[in-house]
């Protein structure tokens, strides 16, 4: 059973509009980087722009990209049912599989202050169902978190639910903060670097596009999501922001 942490969240409704988002993007002090998809050849590329010069390197798949303090890009992506981490070497990528990431998909990557990787992914094997594909029986299904902050990869499942996650890591403490959209509702999960997981439900009903961000200067957490219209709900649709 998941423990529940008591927290004081404040919420307000915003009328911020939505717009198109890149697949993934990162930035160092002197260069920008992104993962782009070429519709002409249907392949994904790592694109780095430095000094007005653009360079593209083919990727094995679209992934979650972050640029470290050392200026090197890291990308987490799915390959043959496992999650791999690839690091840019200057001319290409050197990659390695995360141990324990079998039957995995939809990785989300964040780097801490020491450029160590923190990754969340979904384990949700599919099978043929009456109306298309559906979740297969799997006692290990759920959401997983992994990090190599200690020098070796450590993997743990933090919930049996499956959904869309957004992840942040708090400064030098490496405290984990994430939100998981597993309809109907949005849940906040957190743990210290060596502690256990705690959770709190932030929203119920039909919500989409969850994002969590951490202000490095103040340590304040911000969560944003879009609430869709529902006939039987008294809550107005729109973009909502919560902070702690």
CATH number at residue 85: 2.130.10.10
Q: What pLDDT score does 203 carry?
A: 92
H or E stretch covering 198:
strand 198-203
Query: What are the residues whose beta carbons fall under 8 Å from the beta carbon of 119, sequence distance 6 or more?
Result: 64, 76, 83, 85, 98, 107, 108, 109, 110, 145, 146, 147
Q: Is the pLDDT of residue 8 over 60?
A: no
Whether residue 206 has a cis bond before it, omega within 30° of 0: no
Give 62-77 pLDDT, tens digit per residue. 889 999 999 888 999 9
Q: Is the pLDDT of residue 104 over 90?
A: yes
Question: From the CA atom positions of the chain, what is the Rg in Å?
Answer: 19
Q: What is the largest CA-CA distance in the chain?
A: 55
Query: What are the residues whose beta carbons fall under 8 Å from the beta carbon of 178, sequence distance 6 or more?
Result: 120, 145, 165, 166, 167, 168, 188, 189, 190, 212
Q: CB neighbours (10 Å) of residue 60?
A: 16
Tokens of 109: 């990557």
Q: Is the pLDDT of residue 106 over 70?
A: yes
Q: What pLDDT score does 243 carry?
A: 87
Q: What pLDDT score does 1 carry?
A: 32
For residues 170-195, one letter each, b for 16 or more C-beta atoms within 10 angstroms of the residue's C-beta and e for the rest, the string is beeebbbbbbbbbeebbbbbbbeeee
Q: What pLDDT score does 171 carry?
A: 80
Question: Is 131 domain-assigned?
Answer: no
Residue 82 or residue 234, greater confidence: 82
pTM over cut 0.75: yes
d(CA 61, CA 110): 18
State the burial class of residue 162 (Cβ atoms within 10 Å of its Cβ: 0-12, 13-18, 19+).
middle
d(CA 116, CA 73): 12
Stretch 220-229: mean pLDDT, rounded? Answer: 92
Q: What pLDDT score does 14 carry?
A: 41
Q: What pLDDT score does 46 carry?
A: 86
Q: Which long-range contacts (CB under 8 A, 24 or more apart) does 182-185 make?
A: 183/207
To the nearest whole number, what is the mean pLDDT of the chain? 83
Q: What pLDDT score does 125 carry?
A: 81
Give 112-169 pLDDT, tens digit per residue. 999 999 999 999 887 544 465 666 788 999 999 999 999 999 999 999 999 999 999 9
d(CA 158, CA 155): 10
Domains: count for the chain: 1
Rounded percentage of the chain residues whose pLDDT exceeds 90: 49
Q: Which domain holds residue 146?
A: 3-126+136-243
Question: Is 163 domain-assigned?
Answer: yes
Question: Is 93 domain-assigned?
Answer: yes
Secondary-structure breakdown of the chain: helix, strand, coil percentages, each rounded to the nearest 5: 0, 55, 40
Helix (H, G, I), strand (E, B) or coil at 104: coil
Question: Is 119 domain-assigned?
Answer: yes
């Amino acid at each position: 059973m998941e423990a529940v942490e008591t927290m004081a969240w404040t919420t307000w409704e915003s009328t911020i509009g939505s717009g198109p988002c890149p697949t993934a993007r990162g930035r160092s002090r002197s260069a920008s980087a992104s993962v782009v998809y070429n519709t002409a050849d249907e392949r994904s590329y790592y694109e780095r722009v430095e000094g007005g010069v653009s360079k593209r390197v083919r990727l094995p798949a679209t992934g979650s990209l972050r640029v470290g303090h050392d200026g090197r890009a890291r990308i987490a992506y799915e390959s043959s049912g496992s999650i791999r981490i690839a690091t840019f070497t200057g001319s290409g990528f050197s990659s390695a599989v995360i141990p324990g990431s079998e039957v995995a998909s939809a990785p989300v990557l964040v780097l801490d202050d020491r450029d160590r990787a923190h990754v969340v992914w979904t384990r949700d094997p599919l099978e043929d169902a009456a109306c298309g594909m559906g979740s297969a029986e799997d006692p290990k299904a759920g959401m997983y978190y992994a990090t190599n902050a200690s020098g070796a990869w450590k993997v743990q499942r933090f919930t049996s639910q499956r959904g869309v996650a957004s992840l942040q890591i708090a400064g030098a403490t490496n405290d984990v903060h994430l939100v998981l959209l597993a309809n109907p509702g949005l849940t906040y999960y957190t743990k210290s670097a060596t502690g256990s997981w705690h959770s709190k439900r932030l929203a119920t009903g039909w919500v989409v596009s969850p994002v969590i961000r951490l202000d490095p200067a103040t340590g304040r957490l911000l969560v944003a999501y879009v609430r869709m219209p529902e006939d039987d709900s008294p809550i107005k649709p729109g973009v909502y922001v919560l902070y702690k």
